[in-house]
Amino acid sequence: MRCKVCRRKIPTHAHFCRYCGTVVDGKNENVQSVTESARSDSHVLSTPENHRDNEHHTNATPQVTKRGRKRSYVFVSIIVLVLLTVSVALYALLGGLLFSRREQVTEVDRSLLHSGIVLPEVDDFPSHSGIKLPHESSSPEHTQAVDVKVPPSTALPTTTPAPIVAKALDLTVKQVDVTSFPVIRLYMDIRDEFGVIPKDLSGGMFFLSEKRAHDPDYIKRSIKRVVQLDEQEQINIHLVADVSGSMMGTPIYDAISVMRRFLDHVQFGIGDMMQLTAFNSQVTEIQPFTKDKAALQYALNDLDAWGDTALFDALYFAIHHTALQEGAKCIIAFTDGEDNASSVSFETVIEDSKHFGIPIFIIGVDMDESYELSVLENICTQTGGSYHSIKEIDALESIYNHVYRAQKEQYLVEYTTESDKGKMSDQFDVQICLQTPAYTGEVDLSFEPHLLLDVDESYAAQDDIEMILSSYLKGFVSAMRTNRFSDLSWTMIKDSPIYIEQKRFTQKDIDEELISYEILEKKIKGDQCTLLVRENYYIQSKRTALHMMTQIAHYRLFKTADGWRFHSFVEPVIVVQKIYQ
């Protein structure tokens, strides 16, 4: 049976609907609500039937009231939850807007500090602008953050930005190049505390001061340029290859293959130069310095393994040829055995390498573990290079690339010194400072320029004495080749001791070629001058095989009506090295 009001199912013998409270008669014909029944029967006296009906009505009403209250509680709870959700959302939205506005103001501070912009004085702005700018300061430490005022309605919480601390960099001068004196090039390794090399350094970030013997104090020099070598500046690499008997067979073929692949990484397009020198019992110049990749690849075909190992001779030879090159330079040598055929000592190799500032990198290929490696490691460490030992020759390529990349990541700092004061042989004291809002660093350097000169190259002589020396050496070589003593005689005082000796010497059947020379010492006293010169020659005769010879000559000159002229040797010429080719 169903209630005729709410249409819900009720028991057959029920007297009222338990859902809506409607009274149901026994025959289910007369239906009326409890409230209507009570209203219509209020004047009727209580009877057993009415008492029973009222009893049912009394029991139904509390159920309806409790159910209504529950519904009210649920409705109120839903309203409260909705209001709380809306409140939280509005709070988060307003907080985000305020934080974003504050970050924009702080970002202005950071941008100004990083850019290094010095803003005008406060008086330059209208009073109603509401912006206070920092006073001009000469150092980044005194730079103040921008104070932005906003109306009270949008006032932001006051925050103090964290101070920006400049990152300290480690500056190391690896090499000094004076081949274009008075232009001086400093090659620097610059890294942070984690070994990372910054890529965004420029000339405006560096400051350089120089002090020479004639200067009472440091003098600021203008820096011409600062550039990282990679893809910008050339580097000169002298590759020294071991072709001794122990490399015969597979090792030499593997080595040639590795060197060919290494050529693919060299930046010949921007001017990188490479020379190939091979050594066994002798030292052989396979290919002079060139940027012709094809010529170097072809030269590798001439490598043939035999003989002993003259490593130190090869390094000495490489030093005196590499020092003639302009720009950054290094020597990369590989060997698989102990030196057993050199006339040059490893101490001389270290001394000359440091003298010209040329780092040496040595790669030991499948070295005998019983061999004492301290000598090779000592050469590399003291010359600014590094030693690497590998067992597999195929690993040479990765080491070559590692060494090459390390050189290419250096920075070039170039400046011009005064050439009309003092002497080139003076000691140079240089202070270099790097200062930006992001980076800071400094380094002090002391060096004496050592310039190895090629007689065939033009050189801006410092004075008349150096000019007559250049003419004397060129004339000597010409006289040896052509037997024309007149090419040399005009540079000497006629019938002087050196005139007589050199006239006799140039008549000998000796083929000499001057490779390079260096002025070690120059002393002037009135009309007299003494010159100490180191000279490198290629010499060959019927009795002597081709070899490179280094000699020390001590000359005395006098100033005559025709200018400075050679007079005699202060002491006999000393031959210090011979390296057979």
CATH number of the domain residue 527 falls in = 3.10.450.50
Residue 280 has pLDDT above 90, yes or no: yes
Same domain? 84 vs 14: no
Average pLDDT over residues 55-63: 45
Peptide bond into 48 cis (omega under 30): no
Same domain? 309 vs 395: yes
The structure tokens listed for 261 are 């692949």
To the nearest whole percent, how much of the chain has pLDDT over 70? 76
Question: In this structure, is residue 456 part of a structural domain?
Answer: no
- What are residue 213's phi and psi, to 5 degrees? -60, -35
Domain of 417 in residue numbering reads as 167-229+411-447
Buried b (16+ CB within 10 A) or exposed e, 406-444: bbbebbbbbbebeeeebebebebbbebebebbbbbbebe
Q: Residue with structure tokens 């550039």?
A: 227
Average pLDDT over residues 521-526: 92
Same domain? 307 vs 442: no
Residue 427 has pLDDT above 90, yes or no: no
Same domain? 209 vs 249: no
Quick one: pLDDT at residue 342? Answer: 93
Same domain? 402 vs 427: no
For the domain that residue 297 is a member of, what is the CATH number?
A: 3.40.50.410
Residue 33 has pLDDT above 80, yes or no: no
Quick one: pLDDT at residue 312? Answer: 95
Same domain? 5 vs 83: no
Local confidence band at 232 (pLDDT 50, 70, 90 cut-offs): confident
Average pLDDT over residues 38-66: 45
| Residue among 567, 469, 478 nearest 519 (CA) | 469
Taking residue 576's Cβ as centre, other Cβ atoms within 10 Å add up to 11
Quick one: pLDDT at residue 150? Answer: 47
470 contact partners, CB below 8 Å, separation of at least 6 = 453, 455, 459, 461
Residue 394 has pLDDT above 70, yes or no: no
Question: In this structure, is residue 459 part of a structural domain?
Answer: no
In this predicted model, what pLDDT tens digit does every residue of 446-501 receive, in sequence order? 988 888 888 766 555 668 898 999 999 999 989 988 888 999 999 999 999 999 99
Quick one: pLDDT at residue 54? Answer: 46
In this predicted model, what pLDDT tens digit does every residue of 145-170 receive, in sequence order? 445 454 554 455 556 666 667 889 99
Question: In this structure, is residue 452 part of a structural domain?
Answer: no
Same domain? 261 vs 378: yes
Quick one: pLDDT at residue 336? Answer: 82
Residue 119 has pLDDT above 70, yes or no: no
Same domain? 472 vs 546: yes
Quick one: pLDDT at residue 352? Answer: 95
- CA dist 30 and 39 (Å) reads 16
Average pLDDT over residues 329-353: 91
Residue 366 φ/ψ region, left for φ over 0, alpha for ψ in the -120 to 50 degree band, beta for the rest = left
Same domain? 309 vs 371: yes
Is 199:386 a contact under the CB 8 Å cutoff?
Answer: no
Quick one: pLDDT at residue 165? Answer: 75
Quick one: pLDDT at residue 64? Answer: 45
Counted domains in the chain? 5
Quick one: pLDDT at residue 70? Answer: 64
For the domain that residue 431 is a member of, what is the CATH number?
A: 2.60.40.10
Quick one: pLDDT at residue 434? Answer: 92
| Residue among 548, 95, 50, 155 nearest 313 (CA) | 548
Question: In this structure, is residue 503 part of a structural domain?
Answer: yes
- CA dist 485 and 508 (Å) reads 12
Choice between 371 and 34, residue whose per-residue pLDDT is larger:
371
Across 108-162, where does the E strand assignment appear? 131-132, 147-148
Same domain? 266 vs 387: yes
Quick one: pLDDT at residue 32? Answer: 43
Quick one: pLDDT at residue 411? Answer: 95
Choice between 391 and 422, residue whose per-residue pLDDT is larger:
391
Same domain? 143 vs 207: no
Quick one: pLDDT at residue 461? Answer: 60
Question: In this structure, is residue 159 part of a structural domain?
Answer: yes
Question: In this structure, is residue 363 part of a structural domain?
Answer: yes
In this predicted model, what pLDDT tens digit does every residue of 164-223 receive, in sequence order? 678 899 999 999 998 888 899 999 999 998 989 998 898 889 999 999 877 889 999 999
Residue 34 has pLDDT above 50, yes or no: no
Residue 371 has pLDDT above 90, yes or no: no
Please state, rounded to an integer, the average pLDDT across all residues of the chain: 80
Question: In this structure, is residue 40 part of a structural domain?
Answer: no
Quick one: pLDDT at residue 534? Answer: 95
Instruction: Please report the sign of the dihedral spanned by the C-alpha atoms of residue 495, residue 498, residue 504, residue 508.
Output: negative
Is 564:558 a contact under the CB 8 Å cutoff?
Answer: yes
Strand pairing partners for 228? 411
Question: In this structure, is residue 39 part of a structural domain?
Answer: no
Local confidence band at 101 (pLDDT 50, 70, 90 cut-offs): low
Residue 401 φ/ψ region, left for φ over 0, alpha for ψ in the -120 to 50 degree band, beta for the rest = alpha
Same domain? 383 vs 264: yes
3-state secondary structure at position 405 = helix
Strands 167-168 and 439-447: parallel
